[in-house]
Amino acid sequence: MRPNQPLTVKVKASVKEGEAPKQVNVLLSAVDSGVLNITDYATPDPWNAFFGQKRYGADIYDIYGQVIEGQGRVASLRFGGDGDELKRGGKPPVNHVTIVAQQAQPVVLNDQGEGTVTLPIGDFNGELRVMARAWTADDFGSSEDKVVVAAPVIAELNTPRFLASGDTTRLALDLSNLTDKPQTLQVHLTASGLVTLSEGQLPPVQLAPGARSTLFIPVSALAGFGDGQVNATISGLSLPGETFAPLQKQWKIGVRPAYPAQTVNSGAVLQP
């Protein structure tokens, strides 16, 4: 499927023997597989949740309080970098991470045990794990499947974690042609917030089938604290039998002051 489209899933509940189940409730979710793989997350299994073996709890105790004498001064750290000084500058820069984790409201299937669930999928390229859990008054079950979301042309902007006021850098815009047709793309860039661009209209990009091209974009950070946003409009994509609107992409970059906060104390005598 393509990004920025609803994901429609058809669900059918059945039993190995006996009559078809009635009043089946289904809870459907779609989550980025890359996020789930970080912790080896397994699709919840109702059978194991109710009847599986439970992990025993464990507590750890120590007797260091009996070994180390209680007299003496409290130790203090005398090493480290300038991280604490930077924290005095106020709030840390805002980092934006896009994660797809959608869950629909429970749906009741029809008398044939069938139903349709729709989940909104935004600007995402990758693999989604679709997980379904079904239950009635007497039975329960679960299932999972994978869905690949891929755009014909992928645009990714490599940005620093944050910029300080006055910084100047180059951002790398990667354009990948995942189709089997050559493409000629027009790229128009704009900036808002606390970042500025030196140029907005880039020359046309020629991409062979399966090719990838990198464009370097000079940007500067303005004074202040908050977000800067880079907007890209990519047009010219052409495939037989498909019509594509210009691709709209947005990326945010956190901007913070370049120096930590300064505290000035002064004294004065007030006349009575």
Query: pLDDT digit string (tens) for 190-227?
Result: 999 999 998 777 889 999 999 999 999 999 999 888 89
Residues 12 and 135 in one domain: yes
- 140 half-sphere exposure, CB direction, 13 A CA radius: 11
Q: How far apart are the C-alpha atoms of 150 and 65, rounded to whole Å?
A: 58
pLDDT of residue 36: 93
Q: The domain spanning residue 30 has which CATH number? A: 2.60.40.10
Which residue positions in the chain have pLDDT lower than 70?
18, 68-75, 77-95
Query: Could you say which DSSP state residue 92 is in?
Result: P
pLDDT of residue 79: 60
Is 267 within the bounds of a domain?
no
Is 10 within the bounds of a domain?
yes
Residues 135 and 248 in one domain: no
Residues 135 and 197 in one domain: no
pLDDT of residue 71: 66
Residues 42 and 110 in one domain: yes
Residues 35 and 164 in one domain: no
Q: What pairs with residue 174 in β-bridges?
A: 156, 214
Q: How far apart are the C-alpha atoms of 255 and 228, rounded to whole Å?
A: 7
Residues 144 and 17 in one domain: yes
Query: Could you give the C-alpha distances from 195 to 130, 163, 247, 253, in angstroms and in order?
Result: 38, 9, 22, 8
Is 219 within the bounds of a domain?
yes
Instruction: Write down the H helix ranges in 110-155.
Output: none
Is 35 within the bounds of a domain?
yes
Host domain of residue 187: 153-256
φ, ψ of residue 50 in degrees (nearest 5): -90, -40
pLDDT of residue 138: 84
Residue 114 · residue 22 · CB < 8 Å = no
pLDDT of residue 1: 87
Residue 249 · residue 123 · CB < 8 Å = yes
* Proportion of the chain in helix, strand, coil states, percent, rounded to 5: 10, 45, 50
pLDDT of residue 221: 93
pLDDT of residue 78: 64
Residue 93 · residue 254 · CB < 8 Å = yes
Sequence-distant (≥ 6) Cβ neighbours of residue 230 within 8 angstroms: 157, 159, 171, 189, 190, 191, 195, 197, 217, 219, 250, 251, 253
Is 137 within the bounds of a domain?
yes
Q: How far apart are the C-alpha atoms of 106 and 114, rounded to whole Å?
A: 14
Is 74 within the bounds of a domain?
no
Number of independent structural domains in the chain: 2
Is 1 within the bounds of a domain?
no
Residues 11 and 144 in one domain: yes
Residues 131 and 207 in one domain: no
Residue 207 · residue 183 · CB < 8 Å = yes
Beta strand 162-164 with 247-256 is parallel
Is 51 within the bounds of a domain?
yes
Residues 12 and 145 in one domain: yes
pLDDT of residue 64: 74
Nearest to 123 by CA among 10, 27, 252: 252
Residues 113 and 203 in one domain: no
Residues 181 and 205 in one domain: yes
151: left (phi over 0), alpha (psi -120 to 50) or beta: beta
Residues 28 and 130 in one domain: yes
pTM for the full predicted model: 0.69
φ, ψ of residue 118 in degrees (nearest 5): -120, 130
